[in-house]
A and B are shown apart, each in its own frame.
Chain A
Amino acid sequence: MIDFTLEKNLQNADGRLQLELQTSFDDGSFVALFGPSGAGKTTVLRMLAGLTQPDRGKIVVGGTTWFDSSNKINLPPQRRSIGFVFQDYALFPNLSIRHNVAYGTGKGDNAWVDELLGLTGLTALQNRLPGMLSGGQKQRVALARALARKPALLLLDEPLSALDAELRSQLQDDLALVHRRFGLTTLLVSHDVGEVFKLSQRVLRLEQGQITQSGTPAEIFLQQRVAGKLNLRAQVLAIRREEVVYILSLLLGQDIIDVIATDDEIDGMRVGDIVSVSAKAFSPMVSR
């Protein structure tokens, strides 16, 4: 059981932000912290890890108090049972992959390190240096390294945001596998709806420093889609004129489509605008 109450006054580009939250999760749950940039998500993770100090609050993990401002308890990160995966991976450039993963473990844990390397598909790469690895491989190392101490709480700070869609998907599967295998309580910071949906059992929506919503991914994200109309958001890449109509090239997710648009629809539109694409008759063809 993980309970925490955190308060912190943040200073960001837009001014001051008061971060205030109180929540708890069950052991073994996979929770996502979702919200726009600047809402304070990374700060929450850092406060749980002990890398940033809250102004006020209390953190209790599995019966142990990690932080209590009223009793002046503040365990340093070394004494908290955490695994942290940083957005920039933070791999140690001077150590091989194996030594990076084994960094948090003791002397006789070779079998455990082997198991971690095998699980994350890194066995063949274990003697290489981080500088020779691709982004996806580095992220796997960061994950394996964070798991090495068998932490009570696994904290993932937008671990996949620097990767392309296909790699993201593969690594999301790895994260799901790891969670099923070890049953670690995991807190994932992400702004990718698909990822949150795929991996988490519970979502906390953080906006302007406050938790505005808390529930399952379905409860948080599927509320709006009740109408029987297909409504998509796309970005305008190009506007071409063909005789009496305009052809709009739109970026829909990762796909590019061309649609016909009339003068009225084009009015005021510029390349780069985010537009809404909707179809009234709702029977699209769906196939694998």
Chain B
Amino acid sequence: MSYDWQPLLLTFYLAAMTTAILLVIGIPLAYWIAYTRIRIKPVIETFVSMPLVLPPSVLGFYLLLAFSPQHAFGQWLDHWLHVKLVFSFAGLVIGSVIFSLPFMVHPIQSGFQNLPASLIEASRTLGKSDLTTLFRVLLPNMKSALLAGTVLSFAHTVGEFGVVLMIGGNIPGVTKVASIAIYDEVESLNYAAANFYAMVLFAITFFILLTVYVMNKKWVRAG
């Protein structure tokens, strides 16, 4: 019996895109939070951390409302960009990015905070801009933190269910990711199919994490 690989491919594609986007927005955000002394910082930190405690269905519900063409934001998107985010892969990406944000930001923020302040100061006294300092001094010395953020965001997105269910709509080939597919197959009593998806997910995520920890160990020893 041949199984449909689509949900698995969709899952990994979603996780990869989400992680890539999170790296691009997470690093500047983590940098800002780590070093700013602005007064509203606790508010920003709270917003970033909310997805950790918020029930996924709450976030899913609000995203559904936001994306819906019957409400302001959704209407604007539809009218100006001809984009419908509800029940679309793009909508899933946006939902995943918001939902996995703290998993990227927190490790990187810790990474920055664990570096001695004198490193940045030394770089400044040697004439380098803060951007140069970020890429030549800070990030290279935070490889473990960057790795942790990447892995956690990836894994968290793979495991996402509640948000995806609310705004994805279970459309095969578009928004039917593996976690939804498993649920679907169990509901239809197709345990063999459910087991297939579950085992593949388990094996692949296990090997991704294993590779990552082995690499991390090599870095720690070399550094």
Does B associate with A? yes
A77-85, A174-182, A209-217, A254-262: which lies at the B interface? A77-85
Residues 51-77 of A contacting B (Cβ, < 8 Å): 51, 76-77
- Inside 8 A of A95's CB, which chain B residues have their CB? 136
Find out whether the CB atom of A78 lies under 8 angstroms from the CB atom of B129.
yes
Per-position contact with A for B28-40: 1 when CB-CB < 8 Å, else 0?
0000000000000
Segment at the A interface, from B54-62, B89-97, B114-122, B144-152:
B114-122
The interface residues of chain A lying within 8 Å CB-to-CB of B71 are: none
A104 close to chain B: CB less than 8 A:
yes
Q: Which stretch (A21-29, A86-94, A118-126, A268-276) binds chain B?
A: A86-94
State A131–B141 Cα separation when bound (angstroms): 12
Instruction: Check B116–A90 contact: CB distance below 8 A.
Output: yes
Let me know if A94 and B116 touch, CB within 8 A: no
Is the CB–CB distance between A86 and B126 below 8 Å? no
**Choice from B126, B129, B223 contacting A103 with Cβ under 8 Å:** B126
Compute the total of residue contacts between A and B using a CB distance below 8 Å.
59
What's the dominant secondary structure at chain B's contact region? helix
In the complex, chain A residues whose CB is within 8 Å of the CB of B119: 90, 92
Counting CB contacts under 8 A, is B127 at the interface? yes
What's the least CB distance linking A192 to chain B, in Å? 21
Contacts of B129 in A (CB 8 A): 78
> Nearest chain A CB to B109's CB is how many angstroms away?
20
B137 touches A94 (CB 8 A): yes
Pick the contact of B121 from A83, A86, A103 — CB < 8 Å? A86
CB <8 Å contact, A104 and B126: yes
CB B143 to nearest CB in A, in angstroms, measures: 9
The distance in angstroms between the C-alpha atoms of A145 and B122, with both chains bound, is 10
Q: Quick check: is A149 within 8 A (CB to CB) of the other chain?
A: yes
- On whether the beta carbons of A83 and B125 are closer than 8 Å, the reply is yes
Cα distance A87–B223 when bound, in Å? 22
Tell which of B118, B124, B127, B128 touches A88, judged by Cβ atoms closer than 8 Å.
Answer: B118
- CB <8 Å contact, B128 and A103: yes
| B140 interface hit (Cβ, 8 Å) | yes
Chain A interfacial residues counted at CB < 8 A = 25
Give the dominant DSSP class at A's interface: loop
Specify which of A84, A88, A145 is in contact with B116 (CB 8 Å cutoff): A88
Given contacts A90-B118, A94-B140, contact A76 B124 (CB under 8 A): yes
Closest Cβ neighbor of A155 among chain B residues: B125
A250 within 8 A of B: no
Q: Which A residues touch B141, using CB under 8 A?
A: 92-94
**A92 and B125 within 8 A (CB):** no
A156 interfacial contact with B, CB 8 Å: no
A33 contacts partner chain B, Cβ-Cβ < 8 Å: no
Residues of B near A80 (CB, < 8 A) are 125
> Is there an interface contact between A78 and B124, defined as CB atoms closer than 8 Å?
yes
- Given the known interface contacts A93-B141, A131-B223, the answer about A86 and B127 at a Cβ–Cβ threshold of 8 Å is no
For A50, A51, A95, the residue with the greatest tally of chain B CB atoms inside 10 Å of its CB is A51
**In the complex, what's the smallest C-beta–C-beta distance from B78 to chain A, in angstroms?**
47
Judging by beta carbons under 8 Å apart, are A82 and B140 in contact?
no
A148 at the interface (CB under 8 A from B): yes
Chain A's closest residue to B122 (CB) is: A90
Assembled-state Cα–Cα distance A94/B222 (Å): 10
Contact assessment for B125 and A77 in the assembled complex, using a CB-CB cutoff below 8 Å: yes
A32 at the interface (CB under 8 A from B): no
Q: Contacts A86-B118, A131-B223 given: A92-B124 contact, CB under 8 Å?
A: no
Q: Mark B140-170, 1 if CB is under 8 A from A, else 0.
A: 1100000000000000000000000000000
- A77–B124 touching, CB < 8 Å: yes
* Interface residues of A, Cβ cutoff 8 Å to B: 49-51, 76-78, 80, 82-84, 86, 88, 90-95, 103-104, 131, 145-146, 148-149
Task: Enumerate the 6 nearest inter-chain pairs by beta-carbon distance, A residue then B residue, closest first.
Answer: A104-B126, A90-B118, A90-B122, A94-B140, A77-B124, A84-B125
- Contacts A49-B125, A50-B124, A103-B123 known; 17 new A-B pairs at CB < 8 A: A76-B124, A77-B124, A78-B124, A78-B129, A84-B121, A84-B122, A84-B125, A86-B122, A88-B116, A91-B122, A92-B141, A93-B141, A94-B223, A95-B136, A145-B126, A146-B125, A148-B126
